[in-house]
Amino acid sequence: MVVGVGRLVLRLAENSSLKGKRRVVKAIKDRVTHHHRAAVAEVADQDKWQRAVLGLAVVGNDHAQVNSRLDKIVDFVESLHLAEVLDAELEIIHFSE
């Protein structure tokens, strides 16, 4: 089993309230979940209006497939133009029986 995890740091430059931030973060989470079948959660900076940190997780049986899925998710989030991706940390963990 191969698990891919990621941490995306996003900047929401046009945002001016926590309500607006929640709307943008929810839109990103919903679209990533729908298009890429990945688990997504806001994991830090919940009290900051113009910054969001999202955690990602995908599971598969092949290192290359999991790595490709994570890369595609980062590219997808950037292509939405809802937030600027400031940083993306990705890690792949192998579990053997």
Task: Name the pLDDT band for 17 (thresholds 50, 70, 90).
Answer: confident
- pLDDT tens-digit series, residues 18-46: 888 889 899 999 999 999 999 999 998 77
Q: What is the pLDDT of residue 50?
A: 87
Nearest to 7, CA basis, from 33, 40, 32: 40
- Contact assessment for residue 51 and residue 84, using Cβ atoms and an 8 Å cutoff: no
Total of domains in the chain? 1
Range of the domain at 14: 2-94
Q: Is the pLDDT of residue 97 over 80?
A: no
Distance between CA atoms of residues 81 and 54, nearest Å: 16
**Count of helices and strands (H, E) across the chain:** 2, 4
| Helix runs in the chain, H state only | 18-36, 63-80
Q: What is the CATH number of the domain that holds 16?
A: 3.30.70.1120
- pLDDT tens digit sequence for 72-92: 999 999 999 888 899 999 999
